[in-house]
Amino acid sequence: MEVVPFIQKFLSLPVLNRHHNGKVNVFVSIIPRNKGGGSNTFAYNFKKWLLKNSNKYNWIYNINKSDKAVIIADRIDVKKIIMAKDKGCFIIHRIDEHVVENENEFFRLKHASIKRINSFADATVYQSRFVFENMHSFLDYPQKYEIIHNGADPAEFFPTEKSGEYIGHVTWGVGDKKRLDILYDTIKKHREERFLLVGNHFKSKYPFRSLPNVTYSGPVNRKRLQILLRQMKFLFFPSENDPCPNTVIESILTGVPVCFHPIGGTKELVKDCGLPISEWKTMIKDYSFFRDKCLLRTDLHFDTVFKKYMDL
């Protein structure tokens, strides 16, 4: 065996598993918290999965000591990425955004930052095909990429024997894309139906407090959310252009089918576990049928999802 080619081959390998007792050090660019949606939920679940698999991985807070780093959107200083790459870190860039024409300055600057960060990424993860089709060309066609949906913990979000009694809605944001106008009009026009609202609805411009057929819980932590989801017979989810909503995943794993907005990534998650919001009255009659479909969705378990990240 020739020594020089062997050394060259060894040095060309990624700097993984040379230290840390054979474990891979993993960094995620935001610190997870116990409530909130979106990226925070992703980071919370990822940390939990890494700790569950501590025989293989270490969760760390310092990117400079990491073997793999998952960067969420623009949530890091580019200088830190450059320093970490110089030390052999493999950069995975998670994209859950979409761009539109004539964006305001906030989103224009945010998306420009995401594009710059992506130029240093070793792999790009799009949260849904909807995100891929919108962002791939904007990011100048990254060569290594995967489309990986989010996942949730089936030990936390699991069904009970019977379905709930409410039509539910969950939101932490109250911006225009949440389409709370559709939700408000639907509740107002159908006083015969009972709705359970979880989140920040009363921070919106719509007077949900004035509706007599609403039960409102306000924002809650994950443990309380699990309980409230099980009180729903289905989720009414009119959010538009939503990349990959965690609430929908948690709902499906809890055995709660979903009425969804057809524009965005939500329909990719729902598959046969629900109907478009235009058919929500059909769901009232047939939610048990769609509930049975939800009980088969192991593809949304976070074990399945996060293994894909670590295999990049």
Q: What is the pLDDT of residue 33?
A: 75
Question: Is 136 contained in some domain?
Answer: yes
Helix (H, G, I), strand (E, B) or coil at 31: coil
- The CATH number that applies at residue 72 is 3.40.50.2000
184 and 286 both lie in a single domain: yes
Q: How far is CA 9 from CA 5, 84, 132, 273, in A?
A: 6, 22, 34, 48
Kindly report the number of other CB atoms within 10 A of residue 55's CB atom. Answer: 8
Q: Taking residues 153-157, what's their average pLDDT?
A: 95
Q: Same domain for 173 and 124? A: no
284 domain-assigned: yes
Residue 191 domain flag: yes
d(CA 263, CA 122): 30
Q: Is the dihedral of CA 107, 40, 201, 151 positive or negative?
A: positive
Question: Tens of pLDDT along 7-63?
Answer: 444 444 444 444 467 899 999 999 887 666 678 889 999 999 999 999 999 999 999
Does 108 map to a domain?
A: yes
Mean pLDDT of all residues belonging to the chain? 92
Q: Has residue 2 got a pLDDT over 60?
A: no
- Per cent of the chain over pLDDT 70 is 92
Q: Pinpoint the alpha helices (H) of 2-38.
A: 3-11
Evaluate whether 237 touches 258 at the Cβ level (below 8 Å).
Answer: yes
Q: What is the pLDDT of residue 180?
A: 98
- The Cα 64–Cα 84 span in angstroms is 5
CB 293 within 8 A of CB 269: no
Residues in the chain: 312
272 lies in a domain?
Answer: yes
What is the Cα–Cα distance from 247 to 269, expressed in whole angstroms? 11
Q: Are residues 172 and 123 in the same domain?
A: no
143 shares its domain with 203? no
Residue 232 maps to a domain = yes
Residue in 210, 213, 267, 211 with CA at minimum distance from that of residue 238: 267
Give the tens place of pLDDT for each residue, 159-200.
999 999 999 999 999 999 999 999 999 999 999 999 999 999
User: Residues 124, 28: one domain?
Assistant: yes
**Which structural domain range is residue 278 located in?**
166-300
Number of domains in the chain: 2
Residues 128 and 179 placed together within one structural domain of the fold = no
130 and 229 fall within a common domain: no
Residues 112 and 22 in one domain: yes
Q: How many CB atoms lie within 10 A of CB 220?
A: 15
- Report the C-alpha gap between 127 and 265 in whole angstroms: 8
Question: Which of 78, 113, 148 is at the close of a domain?
Answer: 148
Domain shared by 52 and 135, yes or no: yes
Q: Does residue 4 carry a pLDDT above 80? A: no
**Boundary of a domain, candidates 148, 175, 192:** 148
21-35, 84-98, 172-186, 288-302: least confidently modelled range: 21-35
Of 37-46, 57-66, 106-115, 214-223, the one with minimum mean pLDDT is: 37-46
Please identify, among 148, 178, 201, the residue that sits at the C-terminal boundary of a domain: 148
Phi-psi region of 111 (alpha: psi -120 to 50; beta: other; left: phi over 0): alpha
Residue 208 sits in the same domain as residue 81:
no
Q: CA-to-CA distance for 69 and 81, rounded, in angstroms?
A: 9
Instruction: Pick the closest to residue 233 from 165, 160, 294 (CA basis).
Output: 165
Q: 233-271 pLDDT, tens per residue? A: 999 999 999 999 999 999 999 999 999 999 999 999 999
Asked if residue 69 has pLDDT above 80, the reply is: yes
CA dist., res. 310 & res. 293, Å (int)? 29
pLDDT computed for residue 34 by the predictor: 64
Q: Which two tokens stand for residue 158?
A: 């699991």
Residue 143 sits in the same domain as residue 13: yes
Look at residue 1 and tell me if it is in a domain: no
Task: Tell me the chain's radius of gyration from C-alpha atoms.
Answer: 21
In the prediction, which pLDDT does 31 show? Answer: 87
Whether 173 and 288 share a structural domain: yes
